[in-house]
Structure 1
Amino acid sequence: MIDVVSTEVAAMVTARYGLGEALGPPVYAARGELGRIWRLDTARGSWAVKEALVPVAEEDAEADVAYQLAAAAAGVPLPRPVHTLDGRVTVSGPGAVLRVYEWVDLDLSAGEPTPAELGAMLARLHTVAHPARGPVVSWFADPLGEAAWHELAASAAGAPWEAALSVHLADLVALDALVRPPDPARVTTCHRDFHGENVRRTADGPLVVLDWENSGPAQPERELAGLLWDLGEGAAEAAAAYGGAVLEPADFSMAIVVQGHLLQFYGRRALDEAESRENRSRSEARLAAMLARPLTPAAVDALLS
């Protein structure tokens, strides 16, 4: 991980991607779970230099960029990915893998898009029908399982989130029973991280869809179900804007398994003294938020009714 993008790294990025002469040092802009973003202004424009916080293979980056370009061609607004002069998506800097997008100015004061806007945008994205690259991976397909849930609960002894996990543990274990394997005939490429934090208003007004690095094989109706759960009271409005899709309990499979894997991931990170203070603090905040409103069998029933 790069604490500060050095002048040397910035020069390497501008040269490899052909961005033109840098007008100043890169400026830290934001971070998510998969990467940190730096703004770089050059003679040719402004760019988002994204530093990966997890290992990234070039072939995987090429795959998500192919999906992004297909989505853009279908009218989905997004920051345009930039290739190096020799056609690569990523370059390696000291301690990190980097990639570049065109910079998009966001209006964070405008708040998140409405449920109807999110439903309509997801419907547009699902018209892309980009072929899946392989089967659905375990993170999006396989439930945590009862043994892993109880192991997580045991590890939480004394942690700030122990009580909240204990309250919901039985429901979380029971929820795994709703999970069904993906249907290969229905799997296509999906965003897989589509929610209000990743759809933002730009300074010019229109929406833009962000953070495509998690995209990959999934079923569209399962992505829709995850969005409806995320929206809560706005679910009906989003579903109507999407096109009135009829869902069944198995369609929440991806939301169920991702919730389980995330709780396990954040739990392990929060308890790992080798992790940075920032990562442990972020993980504890995520655990608190997720366990304050977890997806449960009763929540699935409520959404379906």
Structure 2
Amino acid sequence: MKNNLIIDESKLMRAIRESYGLEITDLQFLLRGWGGDCYRADTLAGTPWFLKVFDPVAHQNSVASSRAFYLPLMHELHDRGILPNIPHPLPTQEGDFSLKIGSNELVITNFINGNVVGFGKLPDPIVAQLAGLVGTLHNCRAQLEFEQPFIDQFEISFEHVLLQSFEILAALDENATPGQLLLRQTVLPRQTEIVTALQELKKLQAVARESTKPKVICHTDLHGANLMTDAEGRLYILDWENALIAPPEHDLIFYAGESNFWEVFWPPYERQFPAAGIDPQMLSFYLYRRALEDIADFILRILRVPDRFERDQEDIQWMLECLNGIENIETTISGLTN
């Protein structure tokens, strides 16, 4: 992937020197994420930094995001000591939390030395530590003010993309990549199932929009790949790009269906957020929306970024997990309310 970088590295280093006053001695490409290219930058002063270069064209997806909201949020959460163990943006010399470089945008945060927790079932101590942090986050809205608050409107922004993808997949010809053909073979037999789930989501959307439940600050993407622990066992929450103001159920979807939810997650969460409570229909809305949103994103990525069959196979496996997870939503809700 390094051969197809979003931006020329010499141009990137020059922009950082001019706008941040940082003299980079070593720039190490780390990975290409959903939003852009990620680097570690070592500097003459000896401080490492984490860089992310966003490409608004090549890395579009269906998930709502507002840098005007989440970058000041990260800054405030860290500087006020609410959540000190999170990445926080380095301002430019003019005080901005991001830098435009042509059509791209750069964000620099502190570099965290640690190990990513990863996907799969999390150990109970990590779940408990995370629950306390999430409760703290959900209980801090009154302490913060935002010039541009980003509030969930319960939209289904991916609906058109998802429905259109069925037509695109059905019309694939001999020019399609192996990954796209495998995607068609996987998705079209389950088209009715996906459409039925979308219809259920739209019913839940109407209920959610009528709800008067208070909204809190949510991270919205609290899976193990966005968690990191350091040598002292401290837990860090990474990747705040999809943070917004929403009902707390938005952050509970990754853990509410686990067998240890009430015993391990809920007590430390409720201690930090005593007003906590779960609305089953709101939780259902977010479970359906997240699953269908991820399915739409995987389909979109395979259709837009060709010639990477191994990655396409991985994406299709993740997409199948999302599809199979839809079948378990009602069981999850029933288990929480009984």
Q: What's the TM-score bracket when you normalise by the shorter of the two chains?
A: 0.7 to 0.9
* Alignment of 1:192 onto 2:220: yes
The answer on 1:226 being equivalent to 2:234 is no
Alignment: residue pair count: 295
Corresponding letter in the other structure for 1:49: L
**Residue matched to 2:176:** none
Q: Indicate yes or no: 2:301 matched with 1:269.
A: yes
1:97-108 equivalences under 5 Å are 97-108=105-116
- Residue 126 (str. 1) matches residue 177 (str. 2): no
Map Cα deviations across residues 151-187 of structure 1 (whole Å, 9 max, x no partner): 6566666433444665666456435433423446622
**How do 1:1-305 residues align onto structure 2 when only pairs under 5 Å count?**
2-3=5-6, 5-19=8-22, 21-24=23-26, 26-44=27-45, 45-54=47-56, 60-72=66-78, 73-76=80-83, 77-93=85-101, 96-108=104-116, 112=122, 114-129=126-141, 130-131=144-145, 133-134=148-149, 136-137=151-152, 140-142=154-156, 158-163=184-189, 170=196, 173-179=199-205, 180-182=207-209, 183=211, 186-219=214-247, 221-229=248-256, 232-236=258-262, 237-243=264-270, 245-252=276-283, 253-270=285-302, 272=303, 274-278=304-308, 280=312, 283-294=315-326, 296-305=329-338
8 Å contact kept, 2:149–2:245: yes
Alignment check: 8 A CA contact 1:161 1:284 kept: no
Aligned partner of 1:247: which letter? Answer: I
TM-score normalised by structure 2 residue count: 0.73
Distance 1:110 1:255 in 2: 20
Q: Distance in 2 between matches of 1:302 and 1:10?
A: 52
- For 1:61, give the aligned amino acid: R
Measured in 2, the distance between the counterparts of 1:109 and 1:137 equals 28
Unaligned stretches of 5+ in structure 2? Answer: 60-64, 171-183
The one-character-per-residue Cα deviations of 1:40-79 (angstroms, maximum 9, x if unpaired) are: 00022100111114369xx942421221122222431112
Q: Say if 2:5 and 2:37, in contact at 8 Å, map to a contact too.
A: no
Helix, strand or coil at the partner of 1:267: helix
In 1: Cα distance, 2:10 partner to 2:335 partner: 54
Q: What do you get for the CA RMSD once the two structures are aligned?
A: 3.4
CA–CA distance in structure 1, aligned partners of residues 250 and 219 of structure 2: 8
The one-letter code matched in structure 2 to 1:92 is: K
Matches of 2:117 and 2:40, distance apart in 1: 19
Shift of the 184–83 alpha-carbon distance from structure 1 to 2, 3 Å rule, reads farther
Q: 1:266 to 1:186 in 2, by over 3 A?
A: same
Alpha-carbon shift at residue 206 of structure 1 (Å): 0.8
Equivalent-residue separation in structure 1 for 2:250 and 2:81 (angstroms): 18
In the TM superposition, what is the alpha-carbon distance from 1:141 to its structure 2 partner?
3.7
Q: Once structures 1 and 2 are overlaid, which stretch shifts more, 206-215 or 127-136?
A: 127-136
The unaligned stretches of length 5 or more in structure 1 are none
> Do 1:79 and 1:103's aligned partners in 2 also have CA atoms closer than 8 Å?
yes
Q: Check conservation: 1:30, 1:38, Cα contact below 8 A.
A: yes
The 2-side partners of 1:203 and 1:2 are apart by 32
Instruction: Please say if residues 31 and 37 of structure 1, whose CA atoms lie closer than 8 Å, have aligned partners that are also in contact.
Output: yes
Do the aligned residues in 2 keep the contact of 1:135 with 1:184 (CA within 8 Å)?
no
Q: Percent of aligned pairs with the same residue?
A: 16
